[in-house]
Amino acid sequence: MLVACTNAPKVYNDGIITYAPVKLTDEEKQVIRKSVERQEERYDPAGKMLTSVLNGWNYHTDAQSGTFHQVRGSFSYAVSLLDLGDPQYRQRAFDVIEKTISLQDTDPNSKSCGVWPYYEEEPLATKKAPIDYNWADFNAVSLLDIYMGHKDEIPADLLKKIENAIILAARSIEKRNVGMGYTNIAIMGTYVTYVVSHLFDIPDLKVYATTRLKRFYDHTVEKNGFTEYNSPTYTFTALDELDRMKRHIVEPEAAKIIDILYTIGWDIIAKHYHKPSAQWAGPHSRSYSTLLRPSVYGIFNSASDGRIELGVKDERADVKIKHRIPEQLMPYFLTPTYPRVQKDVFENVEPQIIGTCYLTTPYALSSVNRSSLWNQRRPFLAYWGSVVKPSYLQVRVLHELYDLSAATWFSEQKDNTVLSGINFATNGGDKHISIDVLEDGKFMAKDLRLRFEFGNVDVGQLALPSKDDAPVSFTIDGLQFNLCLYHAVFGKHKGYWEKGSDEKAAWIDFVLYAGEEKEIDLTGMDHAALGFSFCLTAAGEKCPQESVKYTVKDGVLDAAWNGLKVNIPVKPDKKPRNL
């Protein structure tokens, strides 16, 4: 029979690390209960794990379709089961933990020792796709949640397995030693190694974790923000992990550093928040959804003690995370001053990466001077509307209707005007910037297009240019959109305009190629470059009357308009730094 471990203190605090058994309010338990009930149909009692159905391509899996037992989701599920405090779920939680821990790579001679696979059905040793070493970080965080929050409840032999698994994961994180520019994993791995080193008294890991925390702090302060700049996805991931640190790391010097980092994260959000549309204005280095998810509104509400009220009550399942917006930043959310230009130097090392965001009452327009058009990048964004119906404009280059990472972006912005140039990298990615890099600059295609995508807009409000490079202007929600594709050459292909829509968005596309599948060879093209000018106006605002002046000389497109300048190589070549 399994015997519960009872020798741990109810509250642990050695002046460096602190934790206590999880105790939630009835309201918090209700949030978790709803989450558990939603996942009930995905729980496999025989497999003792949550299942998920794959349908489509994923960066880190070979499998593309079918039902699989998932590792990360199962660990998170076990956390919820235990946090709920309901005796009927306790044994299930133990079963899930024991089964899922068993999938960890424990071979000390293995490169991935300490890491878990995504799915039980796809062990690390059988994979062709890249191993996701982040799974050591993510799953160790869940196991630390279990260990520190429920240590007294856990059977002794399972507790030992949890300890061993956490230590192996921490050693994997140490061995990998991820760069401090990989923000969410840099923070997460620092948290794991710092807490594990002190919980289990591992001297060399203590030195590593303390040094790593200082390295991350220095890196972030130097950049005045996170490397994944202004990211709705990764900024909150970073803040979540910093909140964990604030709760569990109490050593005075470390706590001071963590508080500064936490304020930096909220400073990024506050200065890009557009109150009228309730959107997080761009440019975004990493984003999984162009419009904010409702859960973010719930965070804003709770983190402001109810002062940011957007009428959306979408609670997060992890109720233990309790954010607080620093008081000095609240005016950006409650009483912002518009119009205002937010200028950010995201990368100080040459070539610099500079973001510009023009925030007004009717809209927010943003761009970054250099980037790629990977599907997680948002180098050009406009937001308008309201929290009830926010709208956006996003620029994309699509290969088979999926964002082409090899398309590279350059622009300059002044207030409500943007001048851009787009070219193509022979060593860029197809769907992902690094995981599926083009081979010799070649890819097969049936369809390739430049898209101006308008979210929550009816296609009838859009107009097409009369010819390839003609300016076009149309009005949406009282705003005038002025666009001119001043240059569009893609090898010998003749492009054309068309428009369309679905249930979420409408668009105007400049089709670069559509037809029978054929090989696109970027290395064989002497000229593949696009450029457009854009101006957005509300009542009382004006757009420049001049046309874009540009030349193509010695393989370089040199464009000027409204005091803005862009110059880019037109022949596809290897991508430059910082893209």
Helix intervals (H) in 15-70 = 26-39
> To the nearest 10°, the Cα dihedral for 551, 554, 555, 559?
-20
Report the distance separating Cα 575 and Cα 519, nearest Å. 20
Positive or negative CA dihedral for 54, 59, 63, 65?
A: positive
Q: Is 95 left (phi over 0), alpha (psi -120 to 50) or beta?
A: alpha
Mean pLDDT is highest, among 28-37, 217-226, 252-261, for 252-261
Judged on CB neighbours under 10 Å (0-12, 13-18, 19+), 270 is: middle
- Per-residue pLDDT, 224: 85
* pLDDT (average), residues 562-574: 97
Amino acid at site 423: N
Over residues 354-401, the pLDDT tens digits come to 999 999 999 999 999 999 999 999 999 999 999 999 999 999 999 999
Over residues 140-184, the pLDDT tens digits come to 999 999 999 999 999 999 999 999 999 999 999 999 999 999 999
Q: At 381, is the secondary structure helix, strand, or coil?
A: strand
- Per-residue pLDDT, 577: 74
- pLDDT over 70 for what percent of the chain? 98
CB 67 within 8 A of CB 53: yes
Token duo for residue 336: 């912002």
- pLDDT over 90 for what percent of the chain? 89
294 band by pLDDT with thresholds 50, 70 and 90 = confident
Token duo for residue 262: 């936490």
- Per-residue pLDDT, 125: 83
* pLDDT (average), residues 508-532: 97
- Per-residue pLDDT, 314: 65
- Per-residue pLDDT, 3: 38
Amino acid at site 302: S
Range from 59-68, 110-119, 286-295, 463-472 carrying the lowest mean pLDDT: 59-68
* pLDDT (average), residues 506-529: 97
- Per-residue pLDDT, 572: 97
Report the distance separating Cα 286 and Cα 235, nearest Å. 9
Is 1's pLDDT higher than 60? Answer: no
Is 533's pLDDT higher than 60? Answer: yes
Cα 78 to chain centroid, rounded: 25
Is 323's pLDDT higher than 80? Answer: yes
Least Cα distance to 441 among 525, 521, 530, 528 occurs for 521
Judged on CB neighbours under 10 Å (0-12, 13-18, 19+), 492 is: exposed
With a CB cutoff of 8 Å and minimum separation 6, the contacts of 225 are 264, 267, 268, 344, 346
Is 6's pLDDT higher than 50? Answer: no
Buried-state track 283-311, b at ≥16 Cβ within 10 A, e below 16: bbbbbeebbbeeebbbbbbbbbeeebebe
Q: At 443, is the secondary structure helix, strand, or coil?
A: strand
Is 2's pLDDT higher than 50? Answer: no
Over residues 44-75, the pLDDT tens digits come to 999 999 999 988 777 678 878 899 999 999 99
Report the distance separating Cα 74 and Cα 309, nearest Å. 33
Is 9's pLDDT higher than 60? Answer: no
Range from 14-28, 125-139, 409-423, 478-492 carrying the lowest mean pLDDT: 125-139
Is 315's pLDDT higher than 50? Answer: yes
537 band by pLDDT with thresholds 50, 70 and 90 = very high
Tally of CA atoms within 13 A in the half-sphere of 435 that contains its CB = 14
Positive or negative CA dihedral for 552, 453, 235, 197?
A: negative
Positive or negative CA dihedral for 175, 177, 182, 187?
A: positive
8 band by pLDDT with thresholds 50, 70 and 90 = very low
* pLDDT (average), residues 325-352: 96
Token duo for residue 25: 């309010």
* pLDDT (average), residues 199-206: 98
Over residues 434-452, the pLDDT tens digits come to 888 999 999 999 999 999 9
Q: What share of the chain is helix, strand, coil (3-state, %, to 5)?
A: 30, 30, 35
Q: Which CATH class is domain 12-176?
A: mainly alpha
Report the distance separating Cα 78 and Cα 96, nearest Å. 6
- Per-residue pLDDT, 60: 75
Least Cα distance to 79 among 151, 149, 129 occurs for 149
Name the average pLDDT for the chain: 94
Helix intervals (H) in 125-251 = 134-150, 156-176, 183-199, 203-223, 234-248
Crossing angle (nearest 10°) for helices 134-150 and 87-101: 150
* pLDDT (average), residues 124-143: 91
295 band by pLDDT with thresholds 50, 70 and 90 = confident
Over residues 203-256, the pLDDT tens digits come to 999 999 999 999 999 999 998 899 999 999 999 999 999 999 999 999 999 999
Domain ranges of the chain: 12-176, 339-569
Residues written for the chain: 579
Count Cβ atoms below 10 Å from residue 462 Cβ, excluding itself: 19
